[in-house]
Amino acid sequence: MDIAAIILILVCIANLLLGLSVLLRNSHSRVGQSFFAMTLLINSYAISNYLTDKATHLSLNILFNRLAYLTAFLSLAMAAIFSRYFVGKKTHYPGWLMWLGAIGLVVFSGLSVSSYVAGSVSQHNGKLIFDNGPLTPLYYLALLIILGAIIRDFYNLISKGNAIQKDQGRIIALGFSASIIIALITNALIPALSASNFETAKYGPPLLSLLLVTSISYAIARHRLFDIRLVIARSVAYLLLLGTLAGIFAASLFGLTSLFFKAGNTSNSEQAVFVIVAVALAFLLQPLKRFFDKFTNRLFYRDAYDSQELLNELNKHLVTTIDLEQMLTKSASILAKTLKNEYSLFAIKENASSGIRYIGSHKFSGDMQQIAELINSANHNSRRALVADELPSELDQLKTRMQQAGVSVIVKLQGTAKSHAQQPGYILLGPKRSGGIYSSQDTAVLEIIADELVIAIQNALRFEEIQKFNVTLQEKIDAATKQLRHANSRLKELDATKDEFISMASHQLRTPLTSIKGYLSMVLEGDVGKLNTKEKQMIQTAFDSAERMVFLIADLLNVSRLQSGKFVIENKPTDIAKMVGAMVNQLQETAKNHHLTLTYEPPAKFPLVNVDETKIQQVVMNFMDNAIYYTPAGGSIGVGLEATDSEIRYTVTDTGLGVPKAEQHHLFSKFYRAGNARKMRPDGTGLGLFMAKKVIAAQGGAIIFKSEEGKGSTFGFSFPRSQVELKGNTLKPKELQAVS
């Protein structure tokens, strides 16, 4: 087997693999079908051309010679059909022209297998002589016309197509042109100049096939014509491997046999050399295979990456942070590193009223607002990833804006159709550093990434919104707190002024009230003459009112002293039993006037106690006075005083209004009065119970309170007996206790 045969076999295998791969990729594609048919015809032409002078009978030589003419013509015709489908021509030719072309194809196909074109084949002195037919020039003219149509198609593609189509057109057109030139030189020009020299014809078809396969393969691999880079890369690797091994094998055999052996001798030794060379090549097979695999990977997969690893790395990052700036900066870095592009950048629009926010290491210099408007206005929403070089002619303005900004790909970040109006932004990708283009794998992965990023970005934006709201809320809280502090400070000042006024007013009212009370007492005692019953009753009422005013002023002064820290407890021996009895007697007349029954059972024996007599007297009077004024006519009031082994207790129980349960916890607050009490007695101050609790608590006692609305109340106090009882004749008062 000679070198031409080995080359022919390798090229035919490559053509067949490529044609099948394209066809199986999309069996319904006109481009794939025409390409596969073209590869079969090219293989047929190459084989027929090779067998033209290899057949053992002259009749077979003639047959293969005519088949070579026929398959050459049909190969070029199918190449023209392939070019029309590939460039996407939609020109409609007149019917007569279509019929003329079909007739011409049939006529020239018939002439190709006749002696008018193929000529004759004869044998002279053991050599084959090929003579051209009379219509051979017309045959070549038809080939040139077809070639011109192919060149015109690719010229239109190169001049009017997008960047990818231009590159594809240049590479394939170059391959076609070089192949045709080689075919014309080896199969037409040289044989025409030397009628007896047809040796070059057997190298032409393999060479042109190799060029054509290589050019189309490179266009496919580099520019995604059919997206079968793996088949091509491995096919090229195996072709290189087989070619290298065949070359080494042929060179080794030729060199060794010519060096050590003479023709016709030591055939056994030659066979031994064959075996040794074959074994050596077997050891070289795997190292050479790895070398060519790496070589073709670098050639066809310079920008290759594992898409699943990219998705895994990106997903791992997206779940580790919710901060938008940090999340997208790292995502842009991952994309730029994996896709091997100049930059990756995010253009985010937080809401309809905000501007565009850029996140990434690249400084964007274009007008993203205008680009976004062009994208939204274009009827091109089905595509998420917009590659500048692949945009159709109707989007030339968008393409120009992207190129001016140095953007190769824009990926729309959008969710479902319902959330389209809330599109958060775009991914902007710069050109690849290798100069390559973005493949279909790149765009598919970017669209998957976009879906995941949309959710992450929207969550991050909501998180930022919450953070901003928290900051704003905190600022408002701080401002409100500042205002409240200022208002509180002002209220304290006003409260201090009020206390000062109350203290001053109370002191000023005390003197005239004392005089009024004294003179009324003198009138009641008859110092100015005898009073009749009605006069005495009126004077007594005035005296009681003056007495209440005295107690009220005392309460106001005590409140003022509490605020200023001057409130003191002045303990001394006190007979509470005598005090309570006197108070009950004093209020009996008032109770009768209110049509109430006031009862009191004095204890048989009650100890002297060490308390502040004046303040306890105010508390005792306050509880009785409240019972009288808050008990409707016909009710009853019971005053109780008892001394047990552990405590002494004073209580006043009435059948009056009672305190609503919802208001009971406020009852002993300063200036507080229950709602039903305010209705019955509007002139109250709400200081009596407040001061009572302060006085009792300051002396170590506890307030007694129990009430039910509409049924009555019980008010009182208790002291631990051991704490306040005076034993024996020791009547020393306790030290004054300051209460704040």
Q: What is the model's pLDDT at position 238?
A: 58
Contact 624, 580 (CB under 8 A): no
Question: Looking at residue 726, what DSSP letter applies?
Answer: -
| Residue 81 CB coordination number (10 Å) | 18
Q: What is the model's pLDDT at position 225?
A: 45
Q: At what angle do helices 368-377 and 396-404 cross, to 10 degrees?
A: 160
CA 376 – CA 439 distance, rounded (Å):
24
CA 121 – CA 60 distance, rounded (Å):
10
User: Measured between alpha carbons, how far is residue 646 from residues 27, 427, 699, 719, 725 in Å?
Assistant: 109, 85, 16, 9, 11
- Continuous H helices in 224-306: 229-260, 267-300
CA 324 – CA 687 distance, rounded (Å):
60
Contact 610, 572 (CB under 8 A): yes
Q: What are phi and psi of 515, to 5 degrees?
A: -65, -45
User: Measured between alpha carbons, how far is residue 96 from residues 99, 152, 486, 494 in Å?
Assistant: 5, 21, 100, 110
Burial 209-247 (b: 16+ CB within 10 A, else e): bbbbbbbbbbbbbbbbbbbbbebbbbbbbbbbbbeebbe
Partners of residue 385 on adjacent β-strands:
411
| Burial class (CB within 10 angstroms; exposed 0-12, middle 13-18, buried 19+) of 410 | buried
- The position carrying tokens 């004749």 is 729
Contact 452, 314 (CB under 8 A): yes
Q: What is the model's pLDDT at position 203?
A: 59
- The position carrying tokens 């007492």 is 521
What is the β-pairing status of strands 702-708 and 712-720? antiparallel
* CA atoms lying within 13 Å on the CB side of residue 139: 27
Question: Looking at residue 224, what DSSP letter applies?
Answer: -
Residue 188: helix, strand or coil by DSSP?
helix
Helix, strand, coil percent content, the chain, rounded in steps of 5? 65, 10, 25
Contacts of 99 (CB under 8 A, 6+ apart): none
Question: Looking at residue 109, what DSSP letter applies?
Answer: H
CA 333 – CA 170 distance, rounded (Å):
35
Tell me the pTM. 0.41
Residue 574: helix, strand or coil by DSSP?
strand
- The position carrying tokens 């009785």 is 624
3-class secondary structure per residue, 462-495: HHHHHHHHHHHHHHHHHHHHHHHHHHHHHHHHHH
Question: Of 442, 447, 445, 443, whose CA–CA distance to 303 is shortest?
Answer: 442
Contact 722, 598 (CB under 8 A): no
Torsion, Cα 12 14 15 20, to 10 degrees, reads 120
Contacts of 17 (CB under 8 A, 6+ apart): 231, 235
- The position carrying tokens 């991952």 is 334
What does 375-420 look like in DSSP terms, one character per residue?
A: HHHSS-TT-SEEEGGG--GGGHHHHHHHHHTT-SEEEEE--SGGGG
CA 646 – CA 78 distance, rounded (Å):
123
Partners of residue 122 on adjacent β-strands:
129
Query: Average pLDDT for consecutive 10-residue bins of the chain (740 residues)?
Result: 70 76 69 83 84 76 85 86 73 65 81 83 72 85 84 78 68 73 68 56 63 63 48 57 62 59 53 60 67 62 75 86 87 89 86 78 84 75 76 81 88 60 78 77 86 84 81 86 88 76 70 83 84 86 80 72 71 92 90 92 91 90 90 94 93 93 86 80 75 89 93 94 75 34
What does 610-629 look like in DSSP terms, one character per residue?
A: EE-HHHHHHHHHHHHHHHHH
| Burial class (CB within 10 angstroms; exposed 0-12, middle 13-18, buried 19+) of 596 | buried
Q: What is the model's pLDDT at position 280?
A: 66
